[in-house]
Amino acid sequence: MNDNARQLTRQALSLIETARYRMGVSRFIAVFIDHWAYQQTGLYSPTEAFPDDLGAVASKLSHLLSSAMKADPTSDILGYILSESGFYKQGTQFYPTPPEVARLMAQINLADTPRPDAEFYEPCCGTGINTIHWLERVLETRGAAGIESAHLYLEDVDRLMVKGCMLQLFHYFDSRGVSPASMNIVALNTITRKPMGVAYYATAKPAEQRRPSGKSSLDTIAVAS
């Protein structure tokens, strides 16, 4: 994580701490991600509202985290936040993948031999850092065209992780100015294949509907539940 992103995440953690005695850290983070994901996609309306005094905190937090993700697109900003705030202690069994491991897996999973397209499947996607490093490897070896022909199939049993993964991937695409051909992020039990009620299916819009190169790529993805 670069210095700018580190400074922003520290500010974010300090902000989260202000919710400890008003709402509880884990509960605040879960509700925050629900609201942020809904604001980004218009899907899955949050079932719990923030107390009035924490609404402004959540708004500022989203700006801090968004800035951190854009400052360092290949860092697991949400994973770091969840880990440092002790979220894993609440029974979610969440442990972020170290960036070195994510980079190594990206190199193993992606050969340098050119292919017309590429597919990536991850059954326990968490906050999406392995996917992000795979995409970065594609970008380094095949350029933007490599990502634009890529298909992502991501799963996690935790609905919150699916929403967090979606948020980080959208910020990565926005920062790099690229979009994949398709992206499926689904909450389900990877063993029984039982759906858990949250799914994001996205496909790139036709070229004529996209913004000029260098602009935000978020509008090149059409999302449906």
- Under the banding of pLDDT at 50, 70 and 90, the label for residue 93 is low
For residues 44 and 113, membership in a common domain is answered with no
For residues 134 and 65, membership in a common domain is answered with no
Query: Which among 41, 66, 90 is the end of a domain?
Result: 90
For residues 71 and 156, membership in a common domain is answered with no
Token readout for 156 is 């996690």
CA distances from 81 to 140, 183, 194, 204 (A): 27, 24, 29, 30
For residues 82 and 141, membership in a common domain is answered with no
For residues 23 and 105, membership in a common domain is answered with no
Q: For the chain, how many structural domains are there in total?
A: 2
Phi, psi of 97 (to 5 degrees): -75, 125
For residues 47 and 78, membership in a common domain is answered with yes
Beta strands 221-224 and 150-156, pairing class: unpaired
For residues 20 and 78, membership in a common domain is answered with yes
Mean pLDDT of 57-81: 95
Residue 196: helix, strand or coil by DSSP? strand
pLDDT confidence of residue 53 = 86
Would you say residue 152 has pLDDT above 60? Answer: yes
Q: What is the pLDDT of residues 131-145, one digit of tens each?
A: 999 999 899 888 999
Query: Which among 90, 114, 131 is the end of a domain?
Result: 90
For residues 77 and 172, membership in a common domain is answered with no
Mean pLDDT of 148-157: 94
Mean pLDDT of 182-187: 95
pLDDT confidence of residue 225 = 54
For residues 78 and 103, membership in a common domain is answered with no
Better-predicted residue by pLDDT, 208 or 42: 42
Q: What is the pLDDT of residues 6-25, one digit of tens each?
A: 999 999 999 999 999 889 89
Cβ count within 10 A of residue 225: 11
For residues 64 and 135, membership in a common domain is answered with no
Query: Which among 67, 90, 113 is the end of a domain?
Result: 90
Better-predicted residue by pLDDT, 53 or 211: 53
Average per-residue pLDDT for the chain: 84
Would you say residue 149 has pLDDT above 80? Answer: yes
Better-predicted residue by pLDDT, 39 or 100: 39
For residues 155 and 112, membership in a common domain is answered with yes
For residues 150 and 205, membership in a common domain is answered with yes
pLDDT confidence of residue 220 = 45
Q: Which domain holds residue 111?
A: 99-224
